[in-house]
Amino acid sequence: MIPFLDLKKINSQYQEELKAACARVIDSGWYILGSEVKAFEKEFANYCHSEHCLGVANGLDALILILRAYIEMGVMKKGDEVIVPSNTYIASILAISENGLVPVLVEPNQDTYNLDYALIEEKITNKTKAILTVHLYGQVNDMDEINAIAKRYNLKVIEDCAQAHGALYKGRKVGSLGDAAGFSFYPGKNLGALGDAGAVTTSDMELVNTISALRNYGSHEKYKNVYKGINSRLDEMQAAMLRVKLKHLDSEIALRRGVSSAYLKGIKNPLLDLPKINDMQAHVWHLFVIRSTQRERLVDYLLENGIQSLIHYPIPPHNQAAYKEWQKSVFPVSELLHEEVLSIPLSPVMLTKEVGRVIAVLNDFQ
């Protein structure tokens, strides 16, 4: 079987370093917001070309805390609207509703699967306060266009970078392309911890101060609570794991690009649509997503041939039971994508012969 993603194989490459990092934390005697978190925050901010990074408990919390901080700062208030793509992973949208803000869905571009910036303006009202855009599958958005609209309407731009660590836009990394960014280090992400973890990057010092209190009970100083905060801190242990993994991220991205290039060159089947890519640097290939009008048959066929595949995602957010208010809404592009997309195996530990096998099997699909 060619697995969709072999996490054990990915992490076991670094097991000596990971175990040493674990031991370092155990021996330190300091387990919350200590030197590992501080060091990781500095290293990850540098990596992202951003001035600051704050470690938090997971990617969803990173996005929740950014919006919550903007509320505390008076930039937005409950009932205000946030533009978000209609075909993202549900977490981007949950972060908005969790804060009592209103998610306003905008359809994606058919080729990039990212927010279609040409459709943003018609959704802007006097309640709109931010654009939360998602670098879906690992590919950067049209940030110049999005930032230009945000500037015109005085909106904040928040990047959801959960799938795109290290992707470049005109020489700059994601996480530094808007006002603030949320990252997830869920184990299956391109930069994955060995448990839950997340981070915020930003160059806005007021935002840094607010979030650093909000993630820690709303307190800058022990037992003095400025906000009704939460507990959402990055673990020392996970920070230590992430410092190891961060050192290998660029070489893993290169390996992912190698697999994707082979797929893009090798897969030739009129029944399958491949991703359309202009700039390889702008994509870090968290997922390699193909499209087929015969997806159900394709999934079975791949399994019969020993190849695992996954659907990202099977149900569009506006059709989820959690969002009954959108039951009657129609988003044709999102709905079409959700019916056709299929993610095929892609990881930095895939063998050349496995990549060749996936290509050959896909080319024989009829």
Ligand X SMILES: *Cc1c(COP(=O)(O)O)cnc(C)c1O
Binding mask 148-187 for ligand X (x = CB under 6 A): ------------x-xx--------------------x-x-
What residues form DSSP beta bridges with 106?
A: 85
Q: Does 137 bind ligand X (CB under 6 A)?
A: no
**How far is it, in rounded angstroms, from Cα 18 to Cα 213?**
30
Q: Does 92 bind ligand X (CB under 6 A)?
A: yes
From 53-61, 114-122, 143-151, 215-223, give the range in contact with ligand X by CB under 6 A: 53-61
The distance of closest approach from Cβ of residue 199 to ligand X in the complex, given in angstroms and rounded to an integer, is 10
**How far is it, in rounded angstroms, from Cα 212 to Cα 226?**
11
For residue 223, how many other CB atoms are within 10 A of its CB?
A: 6
Beta carbons of 332 and 102 less than 8 angstroms apart = no
Scanning the structure block, which residue is given the tokens 């897969």? 267
For residue 77, how many other CB atoms are within 10 A of its CB?
A: 13
Site for ligand X in 195-234 (CB under 6 A): 196, 198
Q: Is the dihedral of CA 200, 202, 205, 210 positive or negative?
A: negative
From 42-50, 84-92, 253-261, 264-272, give the range in contact with ligand X by CB under 6 A: 84-92
Strands 219-221 and 224-225: antiparallel
Contact residue for ligand X among 60, 67, 214, 341 (CB under 6 A): 60
Contact residue for ligand X among 44, 89, 288, 331 (CB under 6 A): 89
CA angle 38-41-42, nearest 5°? 90
Pick the closer one to ligand X by CB: 36 or 160: 160
Pick the closer one to ligand X by CB: 68 or 359: 68
Residue nearest to ligand X (CB): 59
Return residues touching ligand X (CB under 6 A). Answer: 58-60, 88-89, 91-92, 134, 160, 162-163, 184, 186, 196, 198
